Chain A
Amino acid sequence: MSNFFSKSDLTRQDADKLVSETLNNCDDGELYLEESKSESILLDDNKIKSSNYSSDLGFGFRAISNEVVAYSYSNEISKDSLKNSSENLKSTLKSIKGTYNHEIPKSNKKFYEEINPIEQKTLDSKLEVLNKVNDFLRKKDVSVKQVTASFAGEQKSIEIIRSGGEALTDVRPLIRFNVSVMLEKNGRKETGVYGIGGRQSYDEYLKNDNWKNVCEEAYRIASVNLESKPAPAGEMKVVLGPGWPAILIHEAIGHGLEGDFNRKRTSAFHNLMGEKVASEGVTIVDDGTIDNRRGSLTIDDEGTPTERTVLIENGILKNFMQDRHNARLMNTRSTGSGRRENYRHIVLPRMRNTMMLSGNQAQDEMIKSVDKGIFAVSFGGGQVDITSGKFVFNCTEAYEINNGKIGSPIKGATLIGDGPSILKEVSMVGNDMMLDPGIGTCGKAGQGVPVGVAQPSILIDKMTVGGTKL
């Protein structure tokens, strides 16, 4: 755990005093202290292209009264700097008074260990794995023309000091290992990308030569795409594979169920609480409590323990995801979903691990039932317009389905749909729920946070596929 006051003229007592004095007449707020250490090591084009280490330290001071949020941050932890911030907050909120809510739930559960993954594996051994990846892939096939492999690791320590001196702390490890391979054959080039990661040590993910499986998967995707034909254009049936394709859920309905957009009534879902928004049999949860997952958090960035929030139960909209600010204004409680990229950013309600739970159908039944459509196995990323509800995601591995059989691979295409209605088009839910491999980053208002997704195979009766073939 970091001691944020050891190298500063600011003592813990000074900080407590200033926080209490600043937030006294506010509804909520806190001093958020953060220290992060991170590294990235990249092999590219047959060489170790870069090795970067970064350390970051700073605080964000937040005061909230009524609907107004005042925020000030600095990377100088000192008496002067904190005083300046305090003055800033006071001047913004001078005419708005509130009553501080001291209540914050507690939990002793931790969902990951307080390790520093960077220190747990030597640089030499990381370089060795990257070089092995490069050799392995280039020896595998002469059509391998480019290999990129990388390690990214970080340890983030946070301390939240609330008015009255209550302090909440967390130490969060996070790693990611990624391989990208480009193949060139008969004048065509295609890439395949695969990665793994989570909140444990590098070696936990690399044991049993698991790096080879990552290479094989990236290679497999690139090989499939070398044979791909132009994708069809128009509305058709879509079968989604299990695991990572759940970014559909993340984009289509996840963002629309975040508290802020619903408080402001700018989400297409704001007036649908208690209504049927999905087919029967569709249950979706957002869960911050799965051990060692990329999207898991022991406490969120306001200090609230995370939980498993049921968003949609058997087709009915049950809950939004809330941080303290939006929860207070909507007369409900925080779901432990208050997150920020780092101390430079304000807290927003965000997703953690968003999952559609298993049903009881088999994937091959779904495929057999489709006359003409596509089977989408892997995706690049997605995006949503919260207000209109329209969302997209991009296939990186997909196949035609003709007369109940999987046909040729098709080129990467964007799929577009309407969030509030897409889940009503889900006609089959598979029995094969899978978590993604631990690679997701969600962007909102310029802030990226690590997230996870999961789902079983599903059949969607109607979706628009953005190919070029009419």
Chain B
Amino acid sequence: MVKDQEFLKSKASYCLDLAKKMGATDASVSVGHSISETVNFRNKSLEASDRSDGLALSIETYLGKKRSSISSSNLLDENIKTLIEKCFETTKITPEDEFNSLPDKNLLAKQIKSLDLYDETRFENDKKIKYLKDLEESASLDKQIINTESSFTVNKSNFILANSDGFCDGYKKSSFSASCVTVAKDENSMERDYEFSSKRHLSDIEEATDLGNKAAKQTIRKLSPNKIGSEKISIIFDKRISKGMLNVFANAISASAIARGTSFLKDKINQQVFAKSINVIDKPDIIKGMGSQNFDSEGVNSNKLQLIENGILKNYLVDTYNGKKLNLKSNGRSGGTTNLYFENGIISYEDLMKKNSRSLYITETIGHGSNLVTGDYSVGATGFLVEHGEFKYPVNEITIAGNFKDMFKNIILANDLEFEYSVNSPTMMIEGMTVAGK
């Protein structure tokens, strides 16, 4: 069983009391416990089972404007005492930083509303095994599938965040995740693809057979790919790739990147950075949401935030420290976004596919080719050539490149948004990017 609130609270207040006693002017502490159980299958039989049980503690101590931190997985009182002593000794010799402080008291979360993030259902290993058997049966129906690997993980966790200004709160969370990776082979090639489902509640997890079917179908259609020539072409990003654009955007508008001047979106507040039709929202209070939270990692209340309104940048993601640097109040985004999404576009998926007589549909990218300072983007890609709205043939060993500043202004979104993950996007088209191939 995951440790209860009382246990975690007692550890947190032990830490805060000790830090105060040693002379810390302020302190904050987070204590968490997480239990996770995974079963792995391969080619329809059990491959591995894995159980983890972990406590985690992190403490920050302040001496005026001096700050340092420690973390540990060892929660024995004796160890905590040694660590806090070490932490406070380090704090003393760390230089002052005028922006160091606990969050403003009046911004701290006061009421915790239930977001239904915890499902206490037990899903024993034999049930996981049954699910994975069904999944792999359906994934391996086609003879071209030569390998299937799948896993089911149940994670339950609880945490307490507390600080010396009296904040002390936390709550339980759960996640149930199933995933499947399939390998298909024909005379020309061997290809891999995947599908997964991750939910707060067990009952919302995708059916095993659907998951297996999808993974297999997505893999088989990649067989015998071609390499295309180098050209400018309009690119359609599958939902699993288009949401990645939101992650880049979120990193570029973090108060830390803005304050340090290392973002291509610095000084762009209230300016047009996306196409006029684009709206981006970060909503922390979606019931059962994978990214939902009542407060951020500093205890600051988080509300719904419109980041992009009609293409205009309206807000940065602000935490206490970087907020002070920028003269902005924290908006509860220490630790990043919550449930981040593009609002739907007005065009259907079918019409988006047919918008150009020829386009490239991208289902996977590899590499770390996003430069947040310059906005330059260049990654390896896999996908399909689309002609008149139809998949013609699979394409691989190509790269796609552009610059986010231009790409963001050329985004066209379909109206097929679904709330599956913590970051969600409809299918996306960007015209005028460069493909490098033959």
Contact = CB atoms under 8 A, between A and B. Distances in A.
Interface in A371-429: 380-388, 390-394, 411-418
B389 interface: no
A53 B87 CA distance: 7
B112 interface: no
Nearest to B98: A47
Contacts, number: 242
Contacts of B55: 75-76
A44 B69 CA distance: 16
A416 B53 contact: no
Interface residues of B, number: 76
A26 interface: no
A190 interface: yes
Contact of B71 (A52, A67, A418): A52
B380 A387 contact: no
B49 A70 contact: yes
A285 interface: no
A417 B79 contact: no
Interface stretch (A55-63, A169-177, A213-221, A313-321): A55-63
Secondary structure call for the B interface: strand
Contacts of A415: 399
B183 A52 contact: no
B374 A470 contact: no
Interface stretch (A101-109, A158-166, A238-246, A460-468): A460-468
A73 B90 CA distance: 31
Interface in B164-189: 183, 189
A470 B376 CA distance: 16
A7 interface: yes
Contact of B369 (A72, A386, A394): A394
Interface in B147-206: 147, 149, 183, 189-192
Interface residues of A, number: 80
Given A71-B50, A85-B51, A467-B436, A413 B367 contact: no
Interface stretch (B257-265, B328-336, B421-429): B257-265
Contacts of A383: 366-368, 380
Interface in B36-73: 42, 45-55, 67-73
A464 B401 CA distance: 12
| Interface hub of A123, A387, A394 (most chain B Cβ within 10 A) | A387
Contact of A69 (B47, B53, B367): B47
A392 B380 contact: yes
A127 B93 CA distance: 9
Nearest to A61: B51
B94 interface: yes
Contact of A414 (B49, B54, B399): B399
Contact of B54 (A190, A344, A392, A466): A344
Interface in B387-438: 396-403, 434-438
Given A53-B87, A68-B46, A384 B434 contact: no
A363 to B, nearest CB: 25
B69 to A, nearest CB: 5
B48 A50 contact: no
Contacts of A52: 68-71
Interface stretch (A195-203, A261-269, A272-280): A261-269
A146 interface: yes
A467 B373 contact: no
B10 interface: no
B146 interface: yes
A54 interface: yes
B192 A145 contact: no
Nearest to A188: B374
A233 B401 contact: yes
A7 B76 contact: yes
Given A51-B68, A465-B436, A71 B399 contact: no
A124 interface: yes
A51 B94 contact: yes
Contacts of A469: 434
A57 B83 CA distance: 13
Contact of A413 (B46, B397, B401, B435): B401
Interface string B113-129: 00000000000010000
A466 B400 contact: yes
Contact of B373 (A51, A123, A182, A392): A182
B232 interface: yes
A330 to B, nearest CB: 15
A48 B378 contact: no
A416 B380 CA distance: 6
A45 interface: yes
B399 to A, nearest CB: 3
B399 A466 contact: yes
A73 B53 contact: yes
Interface in B14-50: 42, 45-50
Contacts of A2: none
Contacts of B437: 234-235, 464
Contacts of A264: 42, 147, 149
A224 to B, nearest CB: 14
Interface in A288-340: none
B86 interface: yes
Contacts of A57: 73-74
Nearest to B325: A45
A100 to B, nearest CB: 19
Contact of A182 (B261, B434, B438): B261
B47 A394 contact: no
Contacts of A124: 93
| Interface hub of A55, A68, A464, A466 (most chain B Cβ within 10 A) | A466
Given A56-B72, A70-B48, A411 B369 contact: no
B52 A182 contact: no
A145 B95 CA distance: 21
B142 interface: no
A418 to B, nearest CB: 6
A390 B380 contact: yes
Interface string A91-103: 1100000000000
A346 interface: yes
Given A146-B262, A265-B147, A388-B396, A381 B368 contact: yes
A71 B51 contact: yes
B93 A464 contact: no
Contacts of A391: 366, 380
Contacts of A394: 367-369, 378
Interface string A352-365: 00000000000000
B371 interface: yes
A468 B232 CA distance: 9
A53 B83 contact: yes
B379 A392 contact: yes
A465 to B, nearest CB: 6
Nearest to B126: A91
Given A189-B373, A414-B379, A385 B47 contact: no
Nearest to B146: A265
A393 B70 CA distance: 35
Contacts of B46: 68, 92
21 contacts: A7-B78, A44-B260, A47-B95, A54-B72, A68-B49, A71-B50, A72-B52, A73-B52, A74-B53, A127-B93, A146-B262, A190-B373, A233-B401, A388-B382, A390-B380, A392-B399, A394-B378, A413-B369, A414-B380, A416-B436, A466-B401
- 8 closest Cβ contacts across the A-B interface? A466-B399, A233-B436, A392-B380, A392-B367, A387-B192, A75-B73, A234-B230, A69-B48
Interface of B: 42, 45-55, 67-74, 76, 78-79, 83, 86-87, 90, 93-95, 97, 125, 146-147, 149, 183, 189-192, 225, 227, 230-232, 259-262, 325, 364, 366-369, 371, 373-374, 376, 378-380, 382, 396-403, 434-438
Given A182-B262, A234-B436, A344-B52, 6 more contacts: A51-B90, A56-B73, A70-B48, A72-B50, A412-B376, A468-B402
